[in-house]
Amino acid sequence: MQVIADEHTAVRVNDAGQVLLSIGSSRAAAALYDIASKSTTNLWTNVEGVDLNATGQALGYDNFSQLPSTVPLATSGLSLPTTMPKLNIVEHSQTQPVDLNDGGDILLDYNGWWVLGSGSSSTLLNAFLGGAPSDPTYGARINNHGAVVALSNGSLYLWDKTSQATTRIDIGANWTFDRISYFGDDGKILVHGTNTQTGSAALLLTPSA
C-alpha cells in the first residue's frame, strides 16, 4: 500500500501511473501525482478535478471562485471547443465537464445541453441522445472510439461518432436507469438502475456479438 497524501481525494488513475487528485477536504485544488517518482505537480487552484486520460491530460472545472457558474479547464495539449453550439459563440460558463477519452474528446454538460468537444470543434448531442442531461456527473460517458452513452428520462441511448446513428438500449420495460459509471471500448456499460419487480441493482451491460 502506498499513501499518496493526506486529505487528498484520488479522482482518476491512468495506466501510466499518474493520479489526478483533488486537494484538501473541500477539494479546492487539483494536482497530478506520479506514482513512480512520488512527485506531485499542482495543476489548478479553486478547481475540482474531473478526469484524466492515458496521456496525462486532465480536465477540471472552476466552481469555487466568484464566477457566476462552473467553467471547465483543461491542461496543456487538451483543447476545449472554441465555439459552443446553440448560441454559436465562444462561451464556456455554465459548462460542466463530464468525461474525457484518450484521444482528447471531451463530453460536456453545457447549461442543460450535451456537447461533444473534439479539439476546437463541438457537436450538440441532445437531438441524438433523447433530450437534456439527466445528471451532469453520471448521466453520460464517452469511450475511446468517440461513442457516447447517455441517460434521458431513465432510458439509455448510444450515439456512434462515425455514423452519427443513435440506438436506444433496451433490456426490458421494467428497468429505469439513473447512473452510468463506465463505458468501455469493447462496448460494455456499467450502470445503476431500478427494476419495478426486483428493486435497484448495478448492471454490466454487454453488447451482443
Q: What are the tens digits of pLDDT across the range 83-92?
A: 666 555 445 5
Full 3-state SS string of the chain: CCCCCCCEEEEEECCCCEEEEEECCCCCEEEEEECCCCEEEEEEECCEEEEECCCCCEEEEECCCCCCCCEEEECCCCCCCCCECCCCECCCCCEEEEEECCCCCEEEEECCCEEEEECCEEEECHHHHCCCCCCCCCCEEECCCCCEEEEECCEEEEECCCCCCEEEECCCCCEEEEEEEEECCCCCEEEEEEECCCEEEEEEECCCC
| Per-residue b or e along 27-51, where b marks 16 or more CB atoms closer than 10 Å to that residue's CB | bebbbbbeeeeeebeebbeebbbbb
Calculate mean pLDDT across residues 118-138: 70
pLDDT band at 199 (very low <50, low <70, confident <90, very high): very high
What pLDDT is stored for residue 1 in this prediction? 45
Tell me the pLDDT tens digit for each residue of 14-43: 989 999 998 765 557 889 999 999 999 998
Say which residue, 5 or 11, is predicted with more confidence: 11
Q: Among 48-52, 120-124, 138-142, 187-191, whose mean pLDDT is lowest?
A: 120-124
Cell of 89: 459563440
| Closest to 134 measured CA to CA, from 161, 105, 155 | 155
Distance CA 19, CA 135 (A): 25
Calculate mean pLDDT across residues 180-200: 93
Tell me the pLDDT tens digit for each residue of 145-174: 999 998 888 888 999 888 888 888 888 878
pLDDT band at 66 (very low <50, low <70, confident <90, very high): very low
Torsion of CA 134, 176, 184, 127, to 10 degrees: -50
